[in-house]
Amino acid sequence: MILLLTKIKWDTDGESLKECRLPENVIVVGLPNPYPRETVSQQFIDDIVAEKLTESFGFCHDGFQWEVLNETHDTHTGGGFYPDMLGVIRI
C-alpha cells in the first residue's frame, strides 16, 4: 500500500519550504502487510506515519491530508498528480 501526504503544515519558524528543503507532498511506501487498504485509520496515521514524517525530514509538523493510492493512480505527466516538491519515505 502507498499513501500520499499533501498539504503538510511544516513548522519552519517562518522560513520557506525551499529554504528548509522540505517537500510539499510525500509518498509513503513500504507499509507493512498487516495494514491493508481497508484498515488504515486516523490512529495509524497519527501514531506511525506522522512520527516517521518528522523523523525523516527533521522538522515537526501540525498535520497533513492523506489518501491511499492504488496501483493505477495517476502520478505522472498527463495524469492528475505530478508535484514539483515531492519527498518519499519508507516505513
At residue 78, does pLDDT exceed 60?
Answer: no
Strands 2-6 and 25-29: antiparallel
Q: Of 6 and 86, which is predicted with more confidence? A: 6
Residue-level pLDDT at 84: 61
In this prediction, residue 80 carries a pLDDT of 52
- Domain with 13 in it: 2-90
Count of domains observed in the chain: 1
Pick from 20, 22, 21, 26: which is nearest to 3 by CA? Answer: 26
Range ranked top by mean pLDDT from 4-13, 25-34, 40-49, 71-80: 4-13
Model pLDDT, residue 42? 78
Cα separation of 54 and 38, whole Å?
25
